[in-house]
Amino acid sequence: RCSVDNRVTRVAWLNRSSILYAGNDKWCLDPRVVLLANTKTQYSIQIQDVDVYDEGPYTCSVQTDNHPKTSRVHLIVQVSPKITEISSDISINEGGNVSLTCIATGRPDPTITWRHISPKAVGFISEDEYLEITGITREQSGEYECSASNDVAAPVVQRVKVTVNYPPYISDAKSTGVPVGQKGILLCEASAVPSADFQWYKDDKRLAEGQKGLKVENKAFFSRLTFFNVSEQDYGNYTCVASNQLGNTNASMILYEETTTALTPWKGPGAVHDGNNGAWRRGSCAWLLALPLAQLARQF
């Protein structure tokens, strides 16, 4: 906008040295530039759909009876942040070095920050376009978020997934006691990236899937060995082997016989149970024999 009075005889708007409007006459070819007002008090133009190239000085030139006057305004064009380049998802072995890049544009220049999307992460881990991680650990795997902000609009964010590969680590493998004829289970839990492949051995013999009386279930983080009807031959030492491209590990566990002492219902006076099915019968006979002897003693 350019304020004028009744002493003004000629008016014009210029962008740098280019004339945009002279009075009511348009001198530029840009359809975005239009004349809003040419009155006794105001001479105004409008620039529609502003672009960064529109930034710069604009001059309102007026001619009076005495001498020309100018009024200058500087147009500052603000641009929301935009991430133009960011690293692709990456997979790396534990102990390696990682370099992530996030490039953004905007006016004013946006501030770029990196943070690790993790419950244990606190605050930003980098305030630069580049994020360097030396000797990466498995705990540092996950998503990394790049944020670009310049207060013109809401920050823009993008994420990069970092996968850290490491050899298997068996976290749980316990021996189990099972009575003969019962169902028994041996469980082997292991963490690894990529996921571990599991194999089971009894002594030095590998157990195959579908072997009679056995079932092997392999999942991403554990393997389950099931015995449907445990026999004496099933007892012994078992080894779980977990492996992936980076290495392997194993753990041994024992399937042993678990003995239980069964409780026998009370059978009457003198019933005795010592784990032998016939014990209470013998005790009962001894009591029955004692009854006639006591009656004979009272008679004499």
pLDDT of 36-85, one tens digit each? 999 989 999 999 999 999 999 999 999 987 788 899 999 999 999 999 99
Q: How confident is the model at residue 148 (pLDDT cuts 50, 70, 90)?
A: very high
pLDDT at position 6 is: 83
Q: Which string of DSSP letters, residue by residue, matches 114-137? A: EEEESTT--S-SB-SSEEEESS--
pLDDT of 175-213, one tens digit each? 999 999 999 999 999 999 999 999 999 988 999 877 788
Same CATH topology for 2-75 and 80-166: the answer is yes
Q: Which CATH superfamily, name and number, covers 2-75?
A: Immunoglobulins (2.60.40.10)
**Whole-number mean pLDDT of the chain?**
85
pLDDT of 247-294, one tens digit each? 999 999 999 998 765 444 433 333 232 333 333 333 333 333 333 434
pLDDT at position 260 is: 62
Second-level CATH architecture of 175-257: Sandwich (2.60)
Model pTM? Answer: 0.69
Secondary structure of residue 223 in the 3-state scheme: strand
Instruction: For the chain, give every domain's residue range.
Output: 2-75, 80-166, 175-257
**Sign (positive or negative) of CA dihedral 266, 272, 275, 277:** negative
pLDDT at position 116 is: 93
Residue 174: pLDDT over 60: yes
Phi, psi dihedral angles at 289 (to 5 degrees):
-70, -30
How far apart CA 182 and CA 275 sit, in angstroms, is 19
How far apart CA 81 and CA 151 sit, in angstroms, is 9
pLDDT at position 271 is: 29
Q: What is the CATH number of domain 80-166?
A: 2.60.40.10
Measured CA angle at 31 (ends 27, 32), to 5 deg: 110
pLDDT at position 64 is: 85
Phi, psi dihedral angles at 288 (to 5 degrees):
-65, -35
Percent of the chain with pLDDT over 70: 86
Percent of the chain with pLDDT over 90: 71
Which token pair is 155? 């920050």
pLDDT at position 217 is: 92
